[in-house]
Amino acid sequence: MLTITQALVDQIVAHARRDHPDEACGVIAGPEGTGRPERFIPMLNAAMSPTFYEFDSGDLLKLYREMDDRDEEPVVVYHSHTSTEAHPSRTDISLASEPNAHYVLVSTADTDGLGEFQFRSFRIVDGVVTEEEVTVVEAY
């Protein structure tokens, strides 16, 4: 289960809306070993594409060094889908390299008639996708 603050959810959704029609992407870091997402880090989609996201390799290396210096780890890896539901694509699954991370997807398309976005979280380990419950809290 992913427990995340409303403020972080709002930041992810705002980033997805701001970058639309391109996919948005980023990371939420947290203290190592806690599983608690705390520090919102929006990233540039180097692919600049409405159907694909790619972290800039230089930015990603800098981020991992920074997290290492701060004793943090990527707790959430997020990106948006602009015209499909919030579910990992085959490409998303093949690129998932953080077995302990929550993979959050936000859809900026109304694919289910329930509103203009979906917010869902998944675990992706060795190519196996498992959707998980998301609990939104005001504070930890």
What are the residues whose beta carbons fall under 8 Å from the beta carbon of 128, sequence distance 6 or more?
A: none
DSSP state of 55: B
- The string of pLDDT tens digits covering residues 44-84 is 999 999 999 999 999 999 999 999 999 999 999 999 998 88
Would you state the pLDDT for residue 118?
87
The tokens describing 124, both together, are 């992706």
Asked if 71 and 32 count as a contact pair (C-beta separation under 8 A), the reply is: yes
Would you state the pLDDT for residue 113?
58
Would you state the pLDDT for residue 83?
85
Quick one: pLDDT band at residue 16, thresholds 50, 70, 90? very high
- The string of pLDDT tens digits covering residues 85-122 is 889 999 999 999 999 999 999 998 765 555 567 899 99
**Residue for token pair 């976005």:** 117
DSSP state of 61: H
Nearest alpha carbon to residue 49 among 89, 104, 10? 89
Would you state the pLDDT for residue 110?
62
